Amino acid sequence: MSAEFNNLAIDFCGIKSPNPFWLASAPPTDKAYNVIRAFEAGWGGVVWKTLGEDPPAVNVSSRYSAIYGKNREVIGFNNIELITDRSLEINLREITAVKEAWPDRAIVVSLMLPCEEHYWADILPKVEATGADGIELNFGCPHGMPERGMGAAVGQVPEYVGMVTAWCKKHSKLPVIVKLTPNITDIRQPARAAHGGGADAVSLINTINSITSIDLERMVALPTVGSASTHGGYCGTAVKPIALNMVAEIARDPQTRGLPISGIGGINNWRDAAEFIALGAGCVQVCTAAMLHGFRIVEEMKDGLSRWMDSQGYRTIEEFRGRAVPNTTDWKYLDMNFKTIAHISQADCIGCGRCHVACEDTSHQAVARLVDEATGKRTYEVIDSECVGCNLCEITCPVQGCITMVPQQTGKGYLNWTQDPRNPRAEQVPTAA
């Protein structure tokens, strides 16, 4: 049994959990064996892999592909696996047994069914009878199931999202979490629809439509099934920025502000989790990191988050949840008078010249290369008057902390784009009385 941390306990839309780290609906939560191992490792909850109507879905072989970085580090992960391929009866029996054995852990059951009310009315009492803590409506799966009128095919139509959510609230007393698809223009629209249908929370993001790579010898995408392939759902580290933005959009939308959010997408460590929570998430769901590194990663996640909270004086998750939301705004409200420029620490510089090449070739020609005629030694210095503070040199520098961005005193007050005289549609700035 793993250690627990008192400051990590949460109550997410009425669902209690000893910590905010849940396993997402996916292969790691497909059956009792996996879920029990996860709870033994210390996970606070799971979303059981999506259940559907009988007969169950049939999966293909193979199912996964990946994008690799250096040393075969998996940056992005793609899958074409469908919902559970086990019978409803077996899943319900196992959910009941696991919940009885682990009453302090959150068990949420993911569901995906056709858009006809009677299917939902039939399954919801059966799920409720297991003792599960809530349900998650899978409106996000981007492959296989949309071809059958489910998954993302529902999530991309706000009217359907609101309709099915309302059915679930009508036929069940359990908290209803609506899982949203990122394969949509404006994530706020389905979130508003879910809220309007009575959802207790939303979870996001589900996976992103993708083809990760092509086998140029066989001229077929990966993963390959026989001699063909298809698009799949992309997840892992690479999708985190997309997920953070969509979480923030919902958290700061006046029409959904206050709606509980379960954050999903590229969460590998405690810091990733803290970022989602800072943008409003009440819990986080993990899949790819667990599949790549095993369930024990949750110990470092819990320990790291708890220690960071202690260092910041946060006694509970709620004390810092959403604290970054007020600082997230539309571009037009950013301060046009703010200025920052780069500074290169000569003591830390290794003389590689990457900052100069990047700035000279693709940016503002603001990093000078200086050569000592006597020694031939090269040094690099920022030309302050040319630097626009774009951060490119800092990003390309291989030495952390060598290049820093230094805010400048301009003597000018706050001025956003709606007020800027350079904007032909600027609004008149009120004068002081």
State the Cα–Cα distance between residues 94 and 418, nearest whole angstrom.
57
State the Cα–Cα distance between residues 163 and 334, nearest whole angstrom.
38
* Run of H or E residues at 293: helix 288-293
Asked if 332 and 417 touch (Cβ cutoff 8 Å), the reply is yes
Which residues are CB-contacts of 326 (< 8 A; sequence separation ≥ 6)? none
Tokens of 236: 């892992």
What is the β-pairing status of strands 21-23 and 45-51?
parallel
Identify the active-site residue in 141, 359, 387, 390: 141
Q: What are phi and psi of 82, to 5 degrees?
A: -95, -165
∠ CA 59-64-65, nearest 5°, is 150
Q: Does 352 qualify as catalytic in the annotation?
A: no
Residue linked to tokens 């959802």: 199
Q: Is 23 exposed, middle or buried (0-12, 13-18, 19+ CB in 10 A)?
A: buried
Asked if 7 and 306 touch (Cβ cutoff 8 Å), the reply is yes
Q: Which residues are catalytic?
A: 141
